[in-house]
Structure 1
């Protein structure tokens, strides 16, 4: 979830409930050069095999070293199955090995991220806390864990504890309230009857097709519909 707080967006707040992701951002912001130098060793061909992957995944789940955890999170994201970020009900990261012959080292992306984070406040909290900080004229972009396309998709939990349908409802309610006090809110999600029911009361909805390949039973990407719901204050 992203909270943008100036008209020309040169200062902004990034909030995410996933503490591992915010931890990575924090280390990129503090010293991205050191992070890149230390991370490079994890992208050696010698470490691109299932035995090493599962050993490092176990270390990631057990370590209390924040810096090591940041390095391992990026390693797991690039070497794991299709870049998934998934935890079980106990909060254990459990994405399987991706079996890629060659793994891309995201050096340029880290450098670009570091330049953006110079102007960012980082926050690891519930989305309701980010809404409380918003003021008239601010823009909030919300990218919640999407409503599942089908029952079998419910295996995914982006953060420990998951994201329930009740939280989806709460997010839509907060968006409507924020809009009433002059905050522009944008939410993305799958385009389904259930999500349209959440957002159609007070928002403008745009639908579009995207290509998705996160499906272990299919080697081909499939087209699915997503939506953007915009809550635009009347004074804009």
Structure 2
């Protein structure tokens, strides 16, 4: 019988819920799991390390996690109030989105963030060049309020420290005995996608190369195993040379109406001293 998997309380593009078994099979034992790109936290929620260092470059995400860790009951009480039929309307969504973009109150932002995540299109998290959240309304019949998932996350997060910094700084914090799992923004599948995705900042190809180099050096010079997930392309195969590569086929939505799926080739690259 398979262990019951725990779902994240946020919807998240590229979340690792469906790959948990593959990831757990490759993750070594250690006294701490470090995630420089924690996202929705599916790996954190479905592994059993004594301690966790969980990082993301998105300050709204890390602020939300720290609030849930410290005051889950208050957070549930306040955020569930937004999950009503009245608020599940296009005009109301855009009003709340505007409130989120205008407030600097960290608790308010955390409450609005969950509403936007569950009511926005495809659970996307996207900001414009001015730093304003700009995901359109999702048009769902009755967005799910993840109360059980929030409480589970809060309980498990007592083992975790959440930070909001660069992946380079997170690597620098790692000590022997720790394991690092990296789920960076994926490298583009094609040269066309590469241009569209990387023309304006974001996680560049140079960032991909730097991450691969840090992973290799952490393993070779500091004896810290590193597991990286990414698209399986000529580019990623090249930059992960020397790692133990596992090939995966993962279902992805490929159309806006969400009913067309395509098997996409992904890989896991494990850097570990034999």
Decide: shared fold, TM above 0.5.
yes
Deviation, 1:170, is 0.7
Gaps of 5+ in 1: none
Corresponding residue number in structure 2 for 1:102: 142
CA distance in 2, matches of 1:116, 1:156: 34
CA RMSD of aligned residues (A): 2.2
Corresponding residue number in structure 2 for 1:14: 54
Deviation, 1:6, is 1.1
Spell out structure 1 runs of 4+ moving beyond 6 A. 153-157
Deviation, 1:86, is 1.4
Residues 149, 183 of structure 1: CA spacing in aligned structure 2 closer, same or farther, 3 A cutoff? same
- 2:187, 2:194 within 8 Å by CA — same for their partners in 1? no
When normalised by structure 1's length, the TM-score is 0.89
- 1:5, 1:11 within 8 Å by CA — same for their partners in 2? no
5 Å-filtered alignment, 1:172-191, equals 172-180=212-220, 181-191=222-232
CA distance in 2, matches of 1:223, 1:116: 32
Residues 161, 32 of structure 1: CA spacing in aligned structure 2 closer, same or farther, 3 A cutoff? farther
CA distance in 2, matches of 1:122, 1:97: 29
Deviation, 1:161, is 5.3
Q: Give the one of 183, 186, 190 matched to 1:143.
A: 183
SS in 1 for 2:202: coil
Corresponding residue number in structure 2 for 1:28: 68
- 1:36, 1:107 within 8 Å by CA — same for their partners in 2? yes
Deviation, 1:54, is 1.3
CA distance in 2, matches of 1:86, 1:121: 24
The number of residues matched between the two structures is: 228
5 Å-filtered alignment, 1:67-82, equals 67-82=107-122
Gaps of 5+ in 2: 1-28, 33-47
